[in-house]
A and B are shown apart, each in its own frame.
Chain A
Amino acid sequence: GAGVSQSPSNKVTEKGKDVELRCDPISGHTALYWYRQSLGQGLEFLIYFQGNSAPDKSGLPSDRFSAERTGGSVSTLTIQRTQQEDSAVYLCASSQGGGQGNGYTFGSGTRLTVV
């Protein structure tokens, strides 16, 4: 596609429920990243996929968070047993990868509200 697409754009869920957030990267981009941004804060790195390599999960805040990337394209970020502190905007980005320093293209994000 022309840009990075994220869905849903908004999600309200009850505390304790599981949620899945989806990211469609730019076609041909081998690297995909997830970040989250709490209100008024900077971006917090969560996880990074590069091609077929094992993902860099060093930013995941707890074992309730997981992500997968199927077929080297679409990625799903799953949050289990959501808590109120999980409320944030979850941003996905993709890049050409390969360590060449190409810029990221970000999606518009999914705003998650846990009530």
Chain B
Amino acid sequence: DAKTTQPTSMDCAEGRAANLPCNHSTISGNEYVYWYRQIHSQGPQYIIHGLKNNETNEMASLIITEDRKSSTLILPHATLRDTAVYYCIVRYHNTDKLIFGTGTRLQVFP
């Protein structure tokens, strides 16, 4: 089972891009990378996922390295409401089960 490594915490100034790294060096070719976030006292919220190609949606962009051993979640213009714990997860092959790690606590400051 591929595991992920994320920094424990990060800071970002409001209006700047937040770049959250994730290492998943043991990922296999058919495992997806998922990102979720959890704002205090709420259930986690799906952000984005990808396999090989970079992905973008209304919330964020996901950049996956060519060797797939790491990825970066980008919030292009962070706001105070983006303060949350961000989880990088590798989805088990052929199941929908997601195993959450400890995540990165992102603090956006004014």
- Give the complex CA separation of A97 and B98 in angstroms: 12
Task: Tell me if B46 and A104 are in contact (CB < 8 A).
Answer: yes
Take A93-B43, A106-B44, A106-B45 as given contacts and tell me if A42 and B96 are in contact as well, using a CB distance cutoff of 8 Å.
no
Residue from the list A44, A95, A106, A108 in contact with B96, Cβ < 8 A: A95
Instruction: Determine if A105 and B96 form an interchain contact, defined as CB atoms under 8 angstroms apart.
Output: no
B4 to chain A, nearest CB (A): 11
Cβ-based interface call for A50 (8 A): yes
Assess the A31–B96 pair: CB atoms within 8 A: yes
Residues of chain A from 67 to 115 with CB closer than 8 A to chain B in the complex: 91, 93, 95, 97-109
Q: Is the CB of A42 within 8 A of B43?
A: no
CB distance from B36 to the nearest CB of A (A): 8
Flag if A42 contacts B46 (CB, 8 Å): no
**Chain B interface size, under 10 / 10 to 19 / 20 to 34 / 35 or more:** 20 to 34
A contact residues, range: 20 to 34
- Bound together, the chains give a CA A31 to CA B101 distance in angstroms of 21
- A42 contacts B97, C-beta separation under 8 Å: no
Whether A105 touches B49, Cβ cut-off 8 Å, given contacts A42-B102, A43-B100, A48-B97, is: no
The prevalent SS among residues of B at the interface is loop
- Which residues of A32-47 are within 8 A (CB) of B? 33, 35, 41-45
For A103, what are the chain B residues with a Cβ–Cβ distance below 8 Å? Answer: 34, 46, 49
Question: Counting chain A CB atoms within 10 Å of each CB, which of B36, B44, B102 scores highest?
Answer: B44
Distance in angstroms from A43 CB to nearest chain B CB is 4
Take A31-B96, A48-B96 as given contacts and tell me if A101 and B49 are in contact as well, using a CB distance cutoff of 8 Å.
Answer: yes
**Docked complex Cα distance between A86 and B102 (Å):** 19
Q: Hey, which bits of chain A sit against chain B, CB under 8 A? A: 4, 31, 33, 35, 41-45, 48, 50, 56, 91, 93, 95, 97-109
| Residues on B facing A (Cβ under 8 Å) | 32, 34, 36, 42-46, 49, 85, 87, 91, 94-103
